[in-house]
Structure formats: C-alpha cells, structure tokens
Structure 1
Amino acid sequence: MSTNCALAIAIQAGVPILTWGPPGVGKTASITMLADGLALPLEVVLASIREPSDFSGLPVIGEEGVRMEPPAWAHRLARAGKGVLFLDEISTAPPAVQSALLRVVLDRVVGDLALPNRVTVVASANPPEQAVGGWDLSAPLANRFCHLFWSLDTQGWVDGMIGGWSISDLPHLPSSWENSIREKEMLVAAFVRHRPHLLLQVPKDEGQAGKAWPSPRSWSMTARLLAAAESVLANEDVVATLTAGCIGEGACLEFLAWCRDLDLPDPEDILANPTYFRLPDRGDQAFAILVSVIAAAVGRLTEERWSAAWRVLAQASEHGKRDIAAVAAKRLAAARKPELSLPLKEVQEFAPLLQKGGLM
C-alpha cells in the first residue's frame, strides 16, 4: 500500500519513476489502475521492442528542413495535456534505446515534440538476472528516476482475487503543494552543506549505478517529493520510500536521521517574533533554521516579513553566526521587490557582501 501511495505522489509531482520487481508481481496492472484512479490518460510503450527512432523521432523532410517526427502515442499525450507515459520492460531495452530515452525521461521531449508538464514518465523493470536479455541500466538513465521496489502483498493479492482489483484512498496533491518546494530545497542544501561528500556518489559497480544514488539531480527530485509528500501528510514509510528511491538507502538513512535530530522550530513563529529568537550553537542546525526562515519569508514576501527576516539574520550575525547568516542574506536580498526598502541597520552587517554580488 505504501508503494502505491508513493507512486501516486510521484506521478502527481511530475517526478519520473522506475518500478522494480520480479515478473508477474503486478507492476503493470497497478500502474494502469493508478492512472485510472488519478484520471490520467495512459500510454503504454514496450521499450524492449522499440528502436531509438521511436523516442528520438523519425526524420521527415519539410519546407523548413528536416524535423524529427514523434510517434502517435506522443501526439495523443500532447493533445490530452496530461497523462502517464508508461515505459514497460525498460531493463530489456538495449543501450542504444536507453540513450534515446535520456531526453524523454528528463525533459519529456520526444523527437521535436515537448510533452506537457503534466505528463509523467513511469517505467517498469525486472532485475537483469530475471529479465530475458536483460541489461543493467546506464548510470545517466538510472539517475533520472525515483526507484520504487515492488513487494508482493499476499493478503492484498488474496483480497483482490476474491473481491476484485482496485486501488482506493489515493492521495491527491492540493493545488498549492509546490509552494513548499523551496523550503525543502533549503533543507536539502543544509544537509549537503553538513555532509558534502553525499552530494555526488556515483557507484563504481555497474549494477548499483543502475539504481538510486545521490547526485545534484536526485537531491532536487528529493526536495520536490518531500514537498509533495508533506502536502498530503504522507507517513514516514512513504517519505522514506520516496527519498531512498531518489538518493539510495544509505544517503536516505543519513538524511532522515539528520532531519529527525534537527528539531526545527516553525519558521512562521520566528518571523512573528524575531526579537526573541536565538539560534542554537550547533552549526548545521543554525544553518537549517536560517534557510527555512528565509524560504518562508520569500514565499510570501511582505514589508513586515521582509524586515523580520533581516532582523533574524542580524541577530544571527551578532551571535557569532555571521558566515551562516551571510549565505541566507544573499538569498533574501535576491528576492527583494522594488517596493521594499532596505532596513539599513540590519543590512549594514552584510553590505560589503551584497554590494560585491550586485545585490545592493
């Protein structure tokens, strides 16, 4: 059930998903039911029998030169304006086809046709040792996906056989869910600042390189999925599944443990009472708090919240956290609106830095 919930969240968040599991476990049937439950058109493309030109487009000579014509399924998704492109059996696609899929998965571009943002790419794969003519996924293709692993729920299968197959209680993201993406990006940035070696870890083993691992791209996907999961109050198992699916289990365990240990205050409480707030001595905790406050202020920037954020930064600088506060100050200054005046007393501490960066 947690896998279905995670998959539904990722589809709505527009993050490409790759579902792993042995043959016959029900990946294709579940994805079909999920698309139906989310009212999304579904196009199924069997990657193993396709040619690279099925994704990069067929050259067609026209009056303006040669264009790369996409297949009919891409046109149908473009006309619908939303949907799921399901790439089945992707682990049996040869390397040339995998290379052609790179732009499809990352940019949603098929030939010369850009698919709408509300089209999400979902793929399924059997482990190479269980696939006929299976291949390890290339590292560039694997790192474009959130990897979800399918487990067989015996009781769920029995219930389905007896009462019929359906997926209910799917989470539906609210229209405002993207508002918190920036906050989650700040949280991820605070962690990577604390654990810089986890920004990029390309596995040396080819098999592991075809799964989830940390990179700037997969950390960005993590932030997006954290915002989406929070908007529907997803439980810890779902959050862990989505996070591990992007950056791998090792980095996921470190990141979630760090988040639990932070005990961050509500940034809105700090903006409401900036004078009485004091940063903790712990550096990574202080940095995470400051970037969350700035993200909250920038997300709904008014004169009052603008001034309050600068007071928080000034206090942080006065209490020995000048380097940390300076990073947040650049982000706040860059978000300034023309009608907002600079609070000279609070900004004075950061004036040389902001002038150097062309922000003053």
Structure 2
Amino acid sequence: MHSNPMNIPPVSIATAKAALAAQFASPALRQRATMLWGPRGVGKSSVVRQVAAQHGVPLVDLRLTTIEPVDIRGAIYADEVQGKTVWFPPEFLPAPDLPAGILFLDELTAADQRLQISAYSLILDRRVGNYRLPDGWQVVAAGNASFHGAVSHDMGTALADRMFHFHVQATVEAFLAHALEQGYAPEVMAYLRIRPDKLDDTQAQLAADHLVGASPRGWEDVSHVLQSGLPEAQQRLFVQGRIGAANAAEFFGVLRELQAGADVLQLLAAAPGAATLALLPRTLDGLYALVYGLVAAASAAQAMARALEVAAAFTELRADLALPLREAQTLAMELLLQRALQQGLADTVLASPAYQQHAAQRAARAAGSPR
C-alpha cells in the first residue's frame, strides 16, 4: 500500500482552477510557482490551459517526459568576440517581448532527474543558464505522487518549500459539470450520478495490481465510444479496454436499464398530463437517465420549454415508488437552466410556467411555509 505524505486537504479541480486564476491576477503571487498534485485524468493540464485562456495570455506547455535536459538549457556555442562559450536559450521558452503568460511544466515528478535539475532552476530562480523568465510569467507544475500509482520521483523539502501546493482530487460534481458543458453521452453522466465511486478507482486498481482502471479521462473516452455509432460488441471491446473488464461489465449492466427507460424524444412529443406520466421511468437508473437525456435534447426553445414541463411532472409520480423525485426534479431544473444559459435560452426558462412553479415551491420550502 502506498503511503500518502500529503498534509494538505484535497481540493476539486474547479477550486484549483479558481485559485490559479486568482494567483495570476496578483503580480506578487505570480512570482511563486504552484504545483498541482493529483491522479491521472483529473484535469490538471486542462485547467492550466483554461486559466491562460481566461486571462488571454500565451501558454507554454512543456511535457517534461518528452524532452532532454539540454533542451531546456539550450545549445552552447563559441563566441569568438567575447572569447568564451555562450548558451543559446531554446526557442520554446518565453521571449522578453512576451511580458506575461503561463509556463506549464507537466509531468514534473516523472521526468528524468537530470531534467528536473534544469526545471527546478526555472521554478526556484526563474532562470536557467543565461535565460531569465520575464517577470509577468507564472510557473505552474503538475505531477503524480507515488500513491497515485504513477512513476514518480520524490520531491525534496527544499524545492517543495519554494512552491504553493494543491492536492487535486476528482469529484463527481466537478466532472459532471464539465461533462454537461462538453456534451458527453447522457448515459455516462447518469451512470456516474448513480455510481459516483466509479469515477476514479485508482486505489482499487492499485490494490488489485491491475493495469487498466477507471478515471475521469477514461470516462470521457467511454462517452466518445457511446457516441461513435459502433455496434455494441465493438463498444464493449473499447470500453473494457479503457476502464477495465469489471468496470465495463457493471457499466453495460446499468446501461441496459438506462436504455430501457423512458424514450426522451417520445416524452418530449407526448401531451402533458396522463400521457406524460405514463412514460416516466419507475426506477432510479431510469430517472437519472431521463434527467441527462432531457438536458441533452433541450437545444432549442421549444424542446427546452417541454423538457421543463416533463421535469415538473416528476413529483406527480406515485409516492410509493420510493424514488428521490424532488431531488431529481431540482437537479433537472438546475441543469436545464445551466444548459439554457449556454444556449442563449434563459428567457425560455424564466418564462416557463413549469419553472416558475418549481421556483415558487422551492422558495416556499426554504421559508418553512406549507405549500
């Protein structure tokens, strides 16, 4: 069992992103490097790119496992005028005419230790050889610790003392928000809403000494497989090759229940009232599959308005079904509102009688008054 030397609490990738953005906005904090620790596929590289885009600055992304130590220090040549050898800095390091940006040193802990020495110079002194990093640049590094199950070299306390450290951990809420924004397959989102422990099974993978396991990046690929149009036999082959045989077997078992649930397009076309209620799912898996299916289908004003009506009908199902109907309804309404904001359909939501009634009922419950 790998030990866990982290003496800082884990944070979500969204929290780490907000912190990096705030750090870049502060010229003083920007001078200190930041290290992102976390398991594979959690999104460390993605958030660094997003922060650079958010501030409208260039990003230099160095994957340290793919370069040699001399690549950072540069080439040496003989300057006959000065009578000495001089180092030419590499072209990929930020030039003086680029006053601000983010230098990202990815896979720092997995890099060859000789290469780490050059990288550490950029982290500690913001320079290597005769090259000096412009003052407006922020250095962000990322890597895995040994307990994340990846190749990792220990980081000494002297280096660690020169950096801010964030221990990034996968959370299903952050993943689902990203998945919704990126248009992942509704089945993947519904499955992970029901089975959040399956988002990242690194520890179980290590304990069983398995090579392949589930991770946030893996579920992204599973989504692409489901959306590929491949026959089911080939989908199974790709999915088990990405998240492992046991995870794939459980996923496809639940997937059958999800796909056997409500037909979203049929529900959107159904008349309100009894016709809608007759088509609503009666299982937990089916209920959450419908939630994410409605969100995926609500890409136009008419579909959005009807999806809100369907979500409003959840609480009209029989109470003896023992389903979290109110919670599912609230989730659906919140996700549909998020989708509307992305699609420019906010007015459709705010004008919807179904949404207005839901908002009024929530306000009444919050105030503690009967409704």
Give the shorter-chain TM-score range: 0.3 to 0.5
Structure index of larger Rg? 2
Give TM-score, length-normalised by structure 2: 0.45
Give TM-score, length-normalised by structure 1: 0.47
**Which structure has the higher relative contact order (CA within 8 Å, separation 6+)?**
1
